[in-house]
Chain A
Amino acid sequence: MPRITLTLLVVAVALVLGFGPLVQAQQPAPPPTWKQGQPPSMADSPLAPIAQPPGPKAPGEIPVDKIKVPAGFKVALWASGINNARVMTWGDRGTLFVSSRVAGNVYAVLDKGSTREVKVIAKGLNMPNGVAFKNGTLYIAEISRITKMVGIEDKLDNPPPMDVVYETLPKDLPHGWKYLAFGPDGKLYFNIGAPCNICIPPDTHANISRVNADGTGFEYVAHGVRNSVGFDWHPVTKELYFATHARDWLGEDMPSDRFDVASKKGLHFGFPYCHQGDILDPEFGKGKSCNDYVKPLLKTGPHVAGNGVEFYTGSMFPSEYQNRAFLAQRGSWNRTQKIGFRVMMVTLDAKGGVAKYEPFAEGWLQGDQVWGRPVYTQQMKDGSLLIADDYAGAIYRVSYQR
């Protein structure tokens, strides 16, 4: 389909439907998004999403020593007091911009050597999860719009207006928050998640999309992607790799979340018909075949909630870490035995297959108790790795000593 048609379609659906795809007046409400697809036998299940605390934890309440990393690596609390800290991106002049989701804030974190200074540069936004930086400009993705702050690093105390880049996006809140990143082609990539746990999504949803940095040229990149809120491009092949959250309520061990590569534009990754490359959905999979969709590069585990994806290109870690992918997994709620709450790493082989999938940092889950949720990573200039924890409102720094 030509680009213009797709763009118009998005506009039309966004304008006409608003919240529409979810509910129609006078019909009984569907269950809340997180409960959709729950089998009647589990109606009394106490499982529900983990509530986001309203404030960050104090430094003294953050047990950094519980985070376990491979030998030779060290973890320190780098910054705290950043409510609901999510995506991190670097400004040209070394400001770390940090997003949040339900807190509605965007922060600027200034590295002052032994301490960090945190400024709120925007607040009251509609789940501003996506932040990306290019040529002096900070781009922010909320539910249904992408805006930019030009020259922000000169004006941290008096931030410039948020100029609209692109705003013809669906307004659905479920899975409506976005990851935002510049691809090697200079375009802005973001997700439009399925507005449900499981449903036949409108054609405009369940994808990864892109626009030019000036907001023109909207196009879909990948289809059948339930919700991907983390992706990165391979440092050598420049291919797009992304993590996807799978549907809930199919059981403790099913289906697996996934880590994928979109080797070209326009592929379909299976949602809502086929999960994890080999299970047809009990309701929507009838008459479908999993062979019609791209299989996962890696099954990352059931309910692990994979968010951040980042290839390592720094010089601090041992040489075998080059081009490994760090996957931040925020952790499960739809499982009686909790799983995730860790940063995993993926080593690819020469052909692009997965050679190894192993833990890099874990310990936010102690027994059944969660004290933090690692959600995104970001390399520092010196090659150390920052990990944001949206539950504790903190950022950790992992370094390596030869």
Chain B
Amino acid sequence: MAAAAPARAADLEAGRQKSEPCKACHGADGNASIPGTPSLAGQPVFFTHWQLIKFRDGRRKDPQMTPFAANLTDADMADLAAFYAAQRPTPRPAVTDPPKVAAGQELAQQHHCVSCHRPGLVGHEQIPRLAGQDLAYLVKLLRAFKAQTAGDLDGTMTTAAQPLSEEDIQNLAHYMATLPPTPSR
């Protein structure tokens, strides 16, 4: 058979060990506390794995994150994704503004965010959980998708962000940050 990439079942325990270098930024159990750094706990397996592939291939770039993905193998990514998916997400502390939250809720319906991110914005397969994610990070990513610099998988999220104004982005982020971070499925 092909010599490259001998895929195999993901190993949760191996994932825990491989997550050692990630702790400093993403937290021991995938719940980060640094503003602007995403929590990974409870994210769908496909989502985390695909994001790591994109960082490794240079399709997604971040000065802090890129070096940590550069040398991961496909098996490492599968283990890490399985480990983080199994961790219980906790809400990120955020000061949210009720009128913005209400406006954001409306926008999330109007812009079909729930079609892809699922009701409650809990994520599914390659699509991330947004509920309870860090407010500053959500704003940063929405701006990047709007600017077409986020390098998404198949263009769907870049397309979805095009009509959003800066005010919409703030309102949506406030709404998403207040939702309970239920793990996807």
**What residues of chain B lie closer than 8 Å to A55, measured between beta carbons?**
5, 7, 49, 74, 77-78
Residue A173 interfacial (CB < 8 Å) = yes
Identify which of A26-34, A237-245, A336-344 touches chain B: A26-34
Identify which of A56-64, A200-208, A275-283, A293-301 touches chain B: A56-64
CB distance from B118 to the nearest CB of A (A): 9
**What residues of chain B lie closer than 8 Å to A229, measured between beta carbons?**
none
Q: How far apart sit A394 and B9, CA to CA, in the bound complex (Å)?
A: 17
Residue B156 interfacial (CB < 8 Å) = yes
Q: A28-B111, A35-B115 are in contact. Are A54 and B50 (CB under 8 A)?
A: yes
Determine if B163 and A29 form an interchain contact, defined as CB atoms under 8 angstroms apart.
yes
Residue A383 interfacial (CB < 8 Å) = no
Determine if B2 and A102 form an interchain contact, defined as CB atoms under 8 angstroms apart.
no
Interfacial residues of chain B within 64-81, with CB under 8 A of chain A in the complex: 74, 77-78, 81
Identify which of B29-37, B52-60, B86-94 touches chain A: B52-60
Q: How far apart sit A143 and B152, CA to CA, in the bound complex (Å)?
A: 14
Q: How far apart sit A119 and B2, CA to CA, in the bound complex (Å)?
A: 10
* A32, A115, A119, most chain B CB atoms within 10 A: A32
Q: Chain A binding site: helix, strand, loop or mixed by DSSP?
A: loop
Determine if B162 and A102 form an interchain contact, defined as CB atoms under 8 angstroms apart.
no
Residue B125 interfacial (CB < 8 Å) = yes
**Interface residue from A25, A51, A61 paired with B126 (Cβ < 8 Å):** A51
The number of chain A residues touching the other chain, given as a range, is 35 or more
Residue A127 interfacial (CB < 8 Å) = yes
Determine if A173 and B6 form an interchain contact, defined as CB atoms under 8 angstroms apart.
no
**Interface residue from A25, A53, A105, A116 paired with B2 (Cβ < 8 Å):** A116
CB distance from B80 to the nearest CB of A (A): 11
Residue A118 interfacial (CB < 8 Å) = yes
Q: How far apart sit A51 and B3, CA to CA, in the bound complex (Å)?
A: 26
Interfacial residues of chain A within 94-131, with CB under 8 A of chain B in the complex: 101-105, 109, 115-120, 123-124, 127
Q: Which chain A residue has the least Cβ–Cβ distance from B127? A: A51
**What residues of chain A lie closer than 8 Å to B160, measured between beta carbons?**
29, 32
Determine if A174 and B155 form an interchain contact, defined as CB atoms under 8 angstroms apart.
yes
**Interface residue from B3, B7, B81, B110 paired with A61 (Cβ < 8 Å):** B7
Determine if B49 and A54 form an interchain contact, defined as CB atoms under 8 angstroms apart.
yes
* B49, B148, B155, B156, most chain A CB atoms within 10 A: B155
Q: How far apart sit A260 and B83, CA to CA, in the bound complex (Å)?
A: 48
Q: How far apart sit A57 and B5, CA to CA, in the bound complex (Å)?
A: 9
**Interface residue from A56, A104, A174 paired with B159 (Cβ < 8 Å):** A174
* Given A24-B163, A26-B163, A55-B74, 13 additional A-B pairs, CB 8 A: A25-B163, A29-B162, A32-B115, A48-B115, A53-B46, A57-B7, A82-B2, A115-B1, A123-B57, A174-B156, A174-B159, A393-B5, A393-B7
Nearest 9 A-B pairs (CB), nearest first? A173-B155, A54-B49, A51-B125, A81-B5, A118-B4, A124-B57, A58-B7, A29-B111, A81-B2
7 residue pairs of the A-B complex, CB under 8 angstroms, read A28-B110, A33-B159, A53-B46, A54-B46, A57-B7, A103-B53, A176-B155
Q: Which A residues lie at the B interface, using CB under 8 A? A: 19, 22-29, 31-33, 35, 48, 51-59, 61, 77, 79-83, 101-105, 109, 115-120, 123-124, 127, 143, 173-174, 176, 393
